[in-house]
Amino acid sequence: MALLRKINNNAQTDQNSGFGTNANSYGGRFVNKNGTPNIEKRGMHLLRRISWYHTMIDMPYWKFMLILLLFYITINFVFAILYYAIGIEHLDGIEQSQSIWTQFGQAYFFSAQTFTTVGYGHISPKGFLTSALSAAEALIGLLSFAIATGLFFGRFSKPTAFLKFSHNALIAPYKNGKGLMIRLVPFKNTNFTDATAKVTLGMTVEENGIMTNKFYNLD
């Protein structure tokens, strides 16, 4: 623990970039370079402090598509196991003389056809339990695709500024004094309309012998 504390202290910068008033307790950057807040949440269960909708909306596209693919494969695998557990003889169209893996594979593809409500008709349920399970799977499939469609719409309709900032800020002559200059530009086929900027300056100053953080809204 002492070694980790020493490494953490060495990794900190000399200047406090937090938003607290105590300049002695430095916790790192308040906002990361990618715009995400550098905040550690405590005192609440993990599932209660996570918004799954915003997580699915904000994650990269490859992760989003991978989660949809894994969900599709997994849920069909689960239903295939249930069909096989009820009895493969209750799926009309699957030959009993085939191997176990071939029968399970056909049950899996029947599940995929039922989940997507395609229903080619080569295999059909026979019996109450199999019919009830296929009806429940069809309902789950409809709801799942409705949720996936909503997530797709949310991702495509999410407004994005597409801003690029200069790596360095400059203090240069401006009018009759000096100004802090930061350049930014929309890097896609978008334009600025009625753009406004608000900048807050954070400084560490000494008050009555105590280093204190002060914040000023710049004109």
Q: What is the pLDDT of residues 153-177, one digit of tens each?
A: 999 888 877 888 888 989 999 989 9
Q: Read off the pLDDT of each residue in 70-97 and give the average, rounded to a whole number.
A: 92
* pLDDT band of 27, cuts 50, 70, 90: low
pLDDT score of 13: 44
Q: Nearest 10 degrees: CA dihedral of 145, 150, 151, 157?
A: 150
Tell me: pLDDT of 3 over 60: no
- pTM of the entire predicted model: 0.67
Tell me: pLDDT of 6 over 70: no
pLDDT score of 180: 84
3-state helix, strand, coil in the chain (%, to 5): 40, 20, 40
DSSP letter for 33, please: T
| 202 neighbors 210 (Cβ within 8 angstroms) | no
pLDDT score of 14: 46
pLDDT score of 4: 43
- Where do the CATH 1.10.287.70 domains begin and end in the chain? 53-157
Q: Is the dihedral of CA 75, 80, 85, 90 positive or negative?
A: positive
Least confident of 29-33, 90-94, 142-146, 160-164: 29-33
Q: Domain 53-157 classified CATH 3.40.50.880?
A: no
Specify the higher pLDDT residue, 65 or 210: 65
Tell me: pLDDT of 198 over 80: yes
Tell me: pLDDT of 57 over 70: yes
- The most confident of 102-106, 179-183, 190-194, by mean pLDDT: 102-106
pLDDT score of 7: 41
Q: Read off the pLDDT of each residue in 97-108 and give the average, rounded to a whole number.
A: 89
Give the H or E element holding residue 151: helix 128-157
Tell me: pLDDT of 11 over 70: no
